[in-house]
Amino acid sequence: MDKLKEIMNHKWKELEGMLRPIPSAELKSLVDLERPNLFDALYGHEQVSVISEIKRKSPSAGDIAKNASALSQAKLYETAEADGISILTDQKYFSGSLEDLEKVTGHITQNGSNIPCIRKDFFIHPIQVVEAANAGASAILIIARALSNREISDLFSAANQVGLDSIFEIHNEGDLERSVSAGAKIIGVNNRNLATFTTDLALSERLIPQIPKECVSIAESGIFNLQDIARVKAAGAQAVLIGQALMEHSDPGSFIREIHSL
């Protein structure tokens, strides 16, 4: 079994006691017009936008910063004017939690920073969209290759009704076609093969030019230095999502500012 299938199977078991139909009225009651908008934060800028991720560990890297405070890391990103903050909320594989997300969004709201926060998790059911909205997120993640067309539609519809953006994560042309057909406006190319967890920036170089120009294109995973940024920018990436490199950096704020200056 590949790693992504293992993770998705665990997610179904983790959530099985919580699953229930989510009425439209419940979703619409969670709309918050003051919620920062991820699409607006990323689209149409000359500089590469930076989504800075809070990641304590991963299946590929093991422990990265296992004792890191989500709030302290978010404050570093905020000071450096990151364009978005991604917070991993999966506990088993990434040592994250919804509490991490709540602490970060609570601080962002209190501080008036207007930085959109993404709930980064393995989404399988609209109940997770409800959780994301209640925790103050601005966006969710839809991993195309891990979901059926019906599951994608249900998640995207729930997010739209709540007023959250959706990042459609792709790894090949088939994922891209399904995402565009579903109505995706933000598309991230994951350079990491989630079956084997190897990375290859050539994937962004191949797929990003195929993403419709009206969409935000994000390069994700395997980005560690300015040379990597230059490669994906040349391919047309409007934004990059960076986790491990920032978590391990002695001065993550300076790295974010360097990216913005490219």
Active site residue 169: yes
Q: Which of 11, 49, 55, 233 is catalytic?
A: 55
Spatial distance between the Cα atoms of 255 and 262, rounded to a whole number of angstroms: 11
Backbone angles phi, psi at 147, to 5 degrees: -130, 150
Active site residue 221: yes
**Strand 57-58 with 62-63, pairing:** antiparallel
Active site residue 220: yes
Active site residue 120: yes
* Angle made by CA atoms 19, 57, 77, in degrees to the nearest 5: 95
Q: Which of 52, 113, 138, 190 is catalytic?
A: 190
Active site residue 53: yes
Q: Which of 11, 57, 103, 120 is catalytic?
A: 120
Q: Which of 113, 193, 221, 233 is catalytic?
A: 221
Active site residue 190: yes
Q: Which of 49, 53, 204, 233 is catalytic?
A: 53
Q: Which of 193, 204, 220, 233 is catalytic?
A: 220
Active site residue 14: no
Q: Which of 78, 102, 169, 205 is catalytic?
A: 169
* Residues classed as catalytic: 53, 55, 120, 169, 190, 220-221
